[in-house]
């Protein structure tokens, strides 16, 4: 027997229609590429998105076709999120920080029929355009006054396209399993692979992300997504904020500590989200200028492990709650959030911080398990660590065009992470499976060793990698960046580890460098670091 409920499709267009009707006067604020601040409301955004959908149709964009973007977080990119998916086409947000060859590969593999881009990327598009085989229309996200004499054939102006249309447009209805967005992995090994989100998965994910024990978003919030809209849909914030009617504040390309701080203060931001490298710049700006926050209540940190020292700085020095989060492009991306249960709230500061340093609890919609090398499930005891597997309604079951074959193992998606899960359900990444250090048949967590290094007052950033050892297979080496004006020796940093880890986990060496390599999504690039250390030899070997 079936229930007697209406069968209404879950579509992305429903989000902005709801925001218009119920939160029409709530602001969307953008720091533009040109540096000025643009303001309008959900009602105005919805009207412009409808005009844009008509403009796309007039250009010949059809349902199911892919439309690429090379753009920062801003109001025009937001309109593209809704106009493209709303008419039944697929938005392909391309990460401009990737290598040019990867950008060409992604656009050609996606068979994008149009490319919308910010003025920042004019030189990049001029260079790559001859290699982009399927692009029929290039559109600069600008008004007529800022249109350059670019070497791009038949370059169109975004605002001119909108001026030619009215907002008399009804969003079409179609199957909720229709593709809505296409995001590619960063492609650290091999070519990037495309994750194809449906309208259904996007809406369900937005519901899950908004929950009180997830991002806890509401119409009372002012949200600054520092995480880029070209990186896993800005962790769903353009969808989730629209669902609940939160004010959105887009930073554009202005991601330095000073610019982020000023936006937070000027727009009364209550929540922000981004990767640790951005927060490191913000904390340095705050410390150097003896500044405080007046409205920021909480920040979500993900993309890579957040050092406990950073959590302490936000909470103890600035009164900002930190929520560790974890996910993947293939997970839409949210998997866990480190909100505390009632019992953990009552713990002393150190014990509470130990819980917060974990990646958090799975939100409803994400099932997790850890397995050993023989795929046997391991207990949730917080001690045994194994390969992390996930499944759920917003988790990929395959890649676009079948690239890489079937990734699932018995219906579960292998994340490539090594983790523990404690009896309360808090998951902690101990490593990427390719980064775990295998010494004498046992595993050493590089993340644990990195967190200790970063806790030293003279260290700004650190990475730990395994290097070849003739007896033990691999041994850990710390590669660290000192804070400006601070000094610490190799022996002093190694001594800092004493009493904090098992003796056999002790790093064999410390190397100091001016900076560490990062990927296009802001994560530490262990692959690049290992390549640079190929000729390195451990002491006494």
Q: Pick the residue with more confidence: 521 or 104?
A: 104
Per-residue pLDDT band at 327 (split at 50, 70, 90): very high
Q: How far is CA 274 from CA 70, 250, 438, 509, in A?
A: 19, 12, 31, 31
Return all residues near 149 (Cβ < 8 A) that are at least 6 apart. none
As a whole number, mean pLDDT of residues 363-391 equals 95
Structural fold of domain 9-251: Rossmann fold (3.40.50)
435-532 falls under which CATH superfamily?
ANL, C-terminal domain (3.30.300.30)
Q: Cβ of 17: how many Cβ atoms within 10 Å? A: 19
What residue spans in the chain does CATH classification 3.30.300.30 cover?
435-532
pLDDT digits (tens, 9 = 90+) for 525-539: 888 888 888 888 888
Residue 404 DSSP label: T
What residue spans in the chain does CATH classification 3.40.50.12780 cover?
9-251, 255-432
First to last CA, the chain: 71
Active-site residue, 185 included = yes
When the pLDDT of each residue in the chain is averaged and rounded to a whole number, the result is 93
Q: Which range (28-42, 166-180, 286-300, 514-528) has the least confidence?
A: 514-528
As a whole number, mean pLDDT of residues 499-514 equals 89
Active-site residue, 345 included = no
Alpha helices in 164-291 (DSSP H): 199-210, 237-244, 257-266, 276-289
Q: What is the DSSP string of 88-127?
A: T-EEEE--TTS-HHHHHHHHHHHTEEEEEE-GGGHHHHHH
Residue 143 DSSP label: -
pLDDT digits (tens, 9 = 90+) for 415-461: 989 999 999 999 998 877 777 787 876 678 888 899 899 999 999 99
Q: Which of 65, 79, 330, 474 is catalytic?
A: 330
pLDDT digits (tens, 9 = 90+) for 473-505: 889 999 999 999 999 999 999 999 998 887 888
Q: Which of 443, 468, 483, 528 is catalytic?
A: 443
As a whole number, mean pLDDT of residues 249-268 equals 97
Per-residue pLDDT band at 244 (split at 50, 70, 90): very high
Residue 20 has pLDDT above 60, yes or no: yes
Residue 284 has pLDDT above 60, yes or no: yes
As a whole number, mean pLDDT of residues 318-330 equals 95
Active-site residue, 265 included = no
As a whole number, mean pLDDT of residues 229-237 equals 94
Q: Which of 26, 185, 240, 242 is catalytic?
A: 185
- Amino acid 492: pLDDT: 93
As a whole number, mean pLDDT of residues 23-46 equals 97
Taking the C-alpha atoms of residue 414 and residue 106, their distance in angstroms, rounded to an integer, is: 23
- Amino acid 441: pLDDT: 63
- Amino acid 189: pLDDT: 56
Q: Which of 341, 349, 434, 438 is catalytic?
A: 438
**Percentage of the chain with pLDDT > 70?**
99
As a whole number, mean pLDDT of residues 216-236 equals 96
Q: Report cis status (omega within 30 of 0) of the bond before 333.
A: yes
The CATH architecture to which 255-432 belongs is: 3-Layer(aba) Sandwich (3.40)
- Amino acid 80: pLDDT: 98
**Percentage of the chain with pLDDT > 90?**
80
Active-site residue, 438 included = yes
Contact (Cβ atoms closer than 8 angstroms) between residue 378 and residue 371: yes
pLDDT digits (tens, 9 = 90+) for 187-214: 555 788 999 999 999 999 999 999 999 9
């Amino acid at each position: 027997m079936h229930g007697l409920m209406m069968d209404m499709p879950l579509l992305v267009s429903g989000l902005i229609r709801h925001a218009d009707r119920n939160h029409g006067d709530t602001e969307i604020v953008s720091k533009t590429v040109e540096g000025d601040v643009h303001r309008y409301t959900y009602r105005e955004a919805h009207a412009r998105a409808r005009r844009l959908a008509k403009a796309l149709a007039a250009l010949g964009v059809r349902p199911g076709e892919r439309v690429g973007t090379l753009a920062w977080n801003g109001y025009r990119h937001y309109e593209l999120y809704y106009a493209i998916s709303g008419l039944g086409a697929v938005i392909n947000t391309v990460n401009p920080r990737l290598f040019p060859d990867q950008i060409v590969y992604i656009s050609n593999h996606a068979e994008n029929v149009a490319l919308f881009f910010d003025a920042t990327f004019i030189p990049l598009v001029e260079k790559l355009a001859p290699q982009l085989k399927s692009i029929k229309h290039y559109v600069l996200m600008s008004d007529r006054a800022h249109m350059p004499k670019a070497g791009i054939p038949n370059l169109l102006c975004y605002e001119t396209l909108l001026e030619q249309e009215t907002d008399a447009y009804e969003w079409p209805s179609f199957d909720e399993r229709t593709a809505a967005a296409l995001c590619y992995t960063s492609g650290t090994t091999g070519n990037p692979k495309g994750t194809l989100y449906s309208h259904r998965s996007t809406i369900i994910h937005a519901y899950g992300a908004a929950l009180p024990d997830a991002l806890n978003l509401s119409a009372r919030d002012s949200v600054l997504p520092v995480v880029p809209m070209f990186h896993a849909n800005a962790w769903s914030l353009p969808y989730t904020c629209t669902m609940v009617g939160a004010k959105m504040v887009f930073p554009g390309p202005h991601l330095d500590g000073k610019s982020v701080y000023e936006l937070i203060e000027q727009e009364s931001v209550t929540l922000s989200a981004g990767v640790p490298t951005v927060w490191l710049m913000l904390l340095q700006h705050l410390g150097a200028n003896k500044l405080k926050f007046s409205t920021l209540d909480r920040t979500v940190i993900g993309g890579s492990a957040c050092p406990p020292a950073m959590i302490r700085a936000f909470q103890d020095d600035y009164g900002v709650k930190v929520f560790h989060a974890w996910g993947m492009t293939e997970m839409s991306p949210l998997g866990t959030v480190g909100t505390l249960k009632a019992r953990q709230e009552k713990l002393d500061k150190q014990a509470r911080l130990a819980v917060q340093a974990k990646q958090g609890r799975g939100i409803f919609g994400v099932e997790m398990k850890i397995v050993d090398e023989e795929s046997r499930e391991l207990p949730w005891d917080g001690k045994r660590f194994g390969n992390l597997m996930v499944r759920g309604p917003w988790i990929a079951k395959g890649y676009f065009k079948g690239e890489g074959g079937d990734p699932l193992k018995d219906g579960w998606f292998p994340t490539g992470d090594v983790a523990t899960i404690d009896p309360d359900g808090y998951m902690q990444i101990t490593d990427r499976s390719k980064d775990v250090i295998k010494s004498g048949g046992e595993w050493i967590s590089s993340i644990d060793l990195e967190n200790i290094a970063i806790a030293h007052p003279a260290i700004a950033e650190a990475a730990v990698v395994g290097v070849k050892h003739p007896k033990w297979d691999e041994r850990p080496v710390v590669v660290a960046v000192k804070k400006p004006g601070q000094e610490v020796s190799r022996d002093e940093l190694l001594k800092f580890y004493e009493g904090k880890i098992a003796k056999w986990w002790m790093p064999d060496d410390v190397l100091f460098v001016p900076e560490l390599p990062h990927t296009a999504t802001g994560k530490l690039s262990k692959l690049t670091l290992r390549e640079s250390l190929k000729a390195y030899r451990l002491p006494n070997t």
